Structures are given as C-alpha cells and as structure tokens.
Amino acid sequence: MIEDAVIIVPAFNEGAVIEDTLAELKKFASRVIVVNDGSRDDTAAKAKKAGVFVASHCANLGYGAALKTGFTAGLRYFKEPFFITFDADFQHDPSYLESLLGPLRRREADYVIGSRFLAGEAPALPLARKIGSRVFSIATSALIGQKITDPTSGMLALGRKVARVFAGQLFPLDFPDADVLVMLSRMGYRIKEEAVEMRPARRPGSMHAGILRPMYYIAKMSVSMVHFALRRDLKEQRREMESVS
C-alpha cells in the first residue's frame, strides 16, 4: 500500500466508471483526491461514497484546471511528499504506481512520466493520435535534449516542489503535457520515463475527439512549447518559487 503519495484523479462525467476506478485504486493507495470538474452526472456522489477527498468545481474548467485544483488541494490538505496523476476512465493501471514512484524515492528524478511506448508492444492508438504523439515526442526530445517517448501521457509522478509549479501561475490550463515537459526542463527539473501499460478507456470519447479540438490542441501545444523554450526566466522563477516555500 502506498503511503507516501497522493493520487490525483481529475474527473468529468465519469459516473459510469469512477466507482470501479477508485475501488481498484484504493487497493494500492490510501490517499486519493478526486477533482470533479463540473460533472453533470453522479461522479461526485460516487467518489464521495468511495471515501476519498472530493473537490468539486461548480463549472467545467477543463483537464488542466482540474489538475491545478488537485495539486493545490494536495499541497494544502496533505503532507505526503509525492503526487501521482491518474485518469478516472479506468485506462491507467494502478499496479504501475510503485514503479512510477521509484525514481522519485531514489532521488533520481523530479518528474516521472508513465510511458506507454517503453513496455514492449506499442499501444493500440488511432493512427492520427499515433502520428501526433510521435511528432510531439520528436519535438519535445529536440527541445529538451533528452529522449521522451510519451510526452502526452497523463500518468505522472512528481514531488512537492514540482507540484508547486503545477499549482502556480505558470501551469498551462489547456491540455498540459508536452509543453509542461519543456517548461520543467527549462526550470532545471530532472525528467525520467518509466514503462507502464495502459488499458482501453472504458468510457467512449476523449478530450481530443472531433476535428476542431485536435487542431486547436496541435496549434496551442506548438505555441506553448516554443514559448517555454524561448523563455529565459524559468530558472529564476524556480528559485523564487522554492525560496517562498
């Protein structure tokens, strides 16, 4: 049982799967935060019934904002040194939580990505997503000078210092993934990938579904990555943030 990490689960209209996800998760970790991002279904009620910490947005703000609330709650209400982000749709396998925490506990990294592309067989993704993921993997690797195989993974582990970045002003609120890696790398945080396997999501649909949203995602992510790559004040921002805490 993991006692030194808080698991953050952003959830939007996950009423159909949240009970199973939390029941399985609670076998591995005792501290769980569910951020109900303005769901219109019974996500919040089911999460409360599962006995976890539930913070409910009164309006839907999106994945990044839900993560930000999760990290703010984690820093404010919990003392544990580590955090892990975990999807509510049953896609993430909690048996990998321990291996994600390994590099943090051994102080080998400040930020650990659960990569779907390191564990033998490549995951079955739609072609467009596979291409998108590969393009962002190449771009991120080039920008940070380190090979990153899965920059869009939502299964992440980090310590309290990085969590403060996630709860602060710098954290992008729309689809934070590859741009966050560029930001953290420019701030001087050490990034590592660990192999994880993911299951097909039990809930149909994705936040990248449709035509306009993926186009917006690609445009926004590209601008955001270049923006962080060009910023020269990020190490200074880190120093300021760590001197306050």
Partner 1 sequence: MFLKQKIFAIIASGALIVLISVLIKRRRLREEYALLWLATGVGILALVTGYPALVWISKLIGAVAPTTTLFLFALLFIILISISFSVRFSRLADQMQAVITELAFLRKEMEDLKQGRASGSG
Q: Which residues in this chain contact partner 1 in the complex, by CB under 8 A?
A: 35, 53-59, 61, 65, 68-69, 72-73, 76, 169, 173
User: What is the nearest approach in angstroms of partner 1 to the Cβ of residue 235?
Assistant: 23
Q: Which is nearer to partner 1, 30 or 60 (CB)?
A: 60
Q: Which of 190, 191, 187, 189 is nearest to 233 (CA)?
A: 187
Q: Which of 182, 183, 194 is nearest to 116 (CA)?
A: 194
Strand 111-115, strand 156-159: pairing: antiparallel
User: What is the nearest approach in angstroms of partner 1 to the Cβ of residue 61?
Assistant: 6
Q: Which is nearer to partner 1, 16 or 61 (CB)?
A: 61
User: What is the nearest approach in angstroms of partner 1 to the Cβ of residue 147?
Assistant: 33
User: What is the nearest approach in angstroms of partner 1 to the Cβ of residue 159?
Assistant: 21
User: What is the nearest approach in angstroms of partner 1 to the Cβ of residue 203?
Assistant: 22
Q: Which is nearer to partner 1, 65 or 143 (CB)?
A: 65
Token pair recorded at residue 69: 């609330």
Helix/strand/coil percent split, the chain, to 5: 45, 20, 40
Strand 82-85, strand 156-159: pairing: antiparallel
Token pair recorded at residue 75: 């820093």
Q: Which is nearer to partner 1, 169 or 245 (CB)?
A: 169
What residue spans of 29-188 are helical by DSSP H?
43-49, 63-77, 97-105, 127-144, 160-166, 178-187
User: What is the nearest approach in angstroms of partner 1 to the Cβ of residue 34?
Assistant: 11
Token pair recorded at residue 181: 């890696």
Q: Which is nearer to partner 1, 53 or 217 (CB)?
A: 53
Q: Which is nearer to partner 1, 34 or 100 (CB)?
A: 34
Q: Which of 164, 64, 163, 170 is nearest to 112 (CA)?
A: 163
